[in-house]
Structure 1
Amino acid sequence: MADASLYNGQPTGTGSSCPSARLTSCTPSIPCDVRNGVSVENALIEKRQWFVLRVSYGRIIKAKSFVEAKNLECYVPMRHKQIMKHGKKLIITEPLLTSFLFVYATRSQIGVLLCDCSNNTTDKKALLSFYYDHTSFREDAPEKNPPLTVSNSAMDNFIRLTSIKNPHIIPITSENIKYKLDDEVVITGGEFVGVHGRVARIAGQQRVVVELFDGCLVATAYIPKDMMSLLEM
């Protein structure tokens, strides 16, 4: 799996790039476990997952710093955008998805994180909150949706795509997308090699679309037909 603690860029407007931040995952401390009502023994059994957390407007970088301070792995996909400044072409970076932060942790760790987030702010709107999976329901509460999680394989594919410094990688919406193939393809050449998704025509070009979850779609740059093949499941 790709490095879970990637941060592919730096704050907007720099015109340059910097090394990816590297985070170290950790098991929650005993005080965190106790106040969250989870024993240390049970916490060690829990599996880490990729949780999708919603970020309040305009605070994605602050949210990332908050999660890093808790020694949890997170990922903020960045968009490498080409602009003209003083007659020169520059590549700047800005958040690709301003409303979502991806955190690799156990359910207990996420609970503690959101609890601390709520207790350490005077703002009316929480910095971070759960993003819920509206396609399923909780077993213990059938009337409620569970927090949305993303599989390791899907996240690995998403990180592979969004870590590429190409200004033609763009976020898109599902409205009016007409896929050219119902089957998934894998890109076999070029800088996007290994990325898999579905072929669509976007902005007048043939591209591959990666859908991480409903409402979160990202398209590659132009991909020639001879650089893709059907993905064998």
Structure 2
Amino acid sequence: MSIIERSDKSQAWFAIRVTYSREMLVKSYLDGIGIENYIPMHTAVRTYNGTSRKVWEPLVHNLIFVRTSAGELKRIKSESALPIRYIMNRETNTPTVIPEREMQDFIAVVATLNEHVEIVPPEAVDLSSGDRVRITDGPFRGIEGVYIRHKGHSKVAVAIRDIATALTAYVPAKFIEKLMTE
């Protein structure tokens, strides 16, 4: 039995790939039918005809996170003409489901709009060498992730499976609490 059949009614976060940078079109459609979704966004400076201006754009193109039931997402995918595909879990060959806490921490890091927050591919950082931690103070208070050194700075990495890793801005060691491993 697939994940789609097992969890037909329960809500979960799914990672969805959108083609041709049409993530805002998909977001608009999902917003219109009341489906919770999230696109990591940031301000970028773009130059058009020699004039620079700030634009609000997706931080990771072609990616949208959707919170709904598997059955509802399957229905949307089959009944609409939306340019979407599931991002599949390589181990189970089922659509990637993101745990609620992991998604909320990822959103909290990106939503600070701190210019030093980065989203990097999962292979760009070695999470196996870091400690599992919670940030106790500052703008990232309450975030749980892996304490790492990246480009010479202490950061906390919040990974979303094989999809993306959000890195906080510098976090002082005094704001870090090591979590006990189970």
Q: Does the Cα contact within 8 Å between 1:78 and 1:93 map onto a contact in 2?
A: yes
| Cα-to-partner distance string for 1:175-233 (whole Å, 9 max, x where unaligned) | 45345953211111111111111122223321111101113111111111111110245
Work out whether 1:133 is the aligned partner of 2:89. Answer: yes
Structure 2 counterpart of 1:97, which letter? V
Which secondary structure state, in structure 2, belongs to the residue aligned with residue 226 of structure 1?
helix
Q: Does the Cα contact within 8 Å between 1:179 and 1:201 map onto a contact in 2?
A: no
Work out whether 1:221 is the aligned partner of 2:177. Answer: no
Tell me the distance in 1 between the aligned counterparts of 2:13 and 2:113: 23
Correspondence for 1:46: 9
Correspondence for 1:174: 122
Matches within 5 A, 1:43-82: 46-81=9-44
Matches within 5 A, 1:30-41: none
CA RMSD of aligned residues (A): 2.6
Q: Does the Cα contact within 8 Å between 1:172 and 1:218 map onto a contact in 2?
A: yes
Which secondary structure state, in structure 2, belongs to the residue aligned with residue 46 of structure 1?
coil
Matches within 5 A, 1:201-220: 201-220=149-168
Tell me the distance in 1 between the aligned counterparts of 2:148 and 2:42: 20
Which secondary structure state, in structure 2, belongs to the residue aligned with residue 109 of structure 1?
helix
Distance of aligned partners of 1:94 and 1:203 in 2 relative to their CA distance in 1, 3 Å threshold: farther
Work out whether 1:149 is the aligned partner of 2:97. Answer: yes
Name the % identity: 25
> Number of paired residues?
171
Structure 1 counterpart of 2:109, which letter? L
Tell me the distance in 2 between the aligned counterparts of 1:180 and 1:212: 14
Q: Unaligned regions of 5+ residues in structure 2, if any?
A: 48-52
Distance of aligned partners of 1:65 and 1:214 in 2 relative to their CA distance in 1, 3 Å threshold: same
Tell me the distance in 2 between the aligned counterparts of 1:100 and 1:71: 19
Correspondence for 1:27: none
Tell me the distance in 1 between the aligned counterparts of 2:27 and 2:46: 28
Distance of aligned partners of 1:103 and 1:226 in 2 relative to their CA distance in 1, 3 Å threshold: same
Q: TM-score, normalised by structure 2?
A: 0.82
Tell me the distance in 1 between the aligned counterparts of 2:153 and 2:119: 15
Q: Unaligned regions of 5+ residues in structure 1, if any?
A: 1-37, 119-125, 137-144
Tell me the distance in 1 between the aligned counterparts of 2:72 and 2:46: 43
Tell me the distance in 1 between the aligned counterparts of 2:155 and 2:23: 28
Moved over 6 A (4+): none
Q: TM-score, normalised by structure 1?
A: 0.65
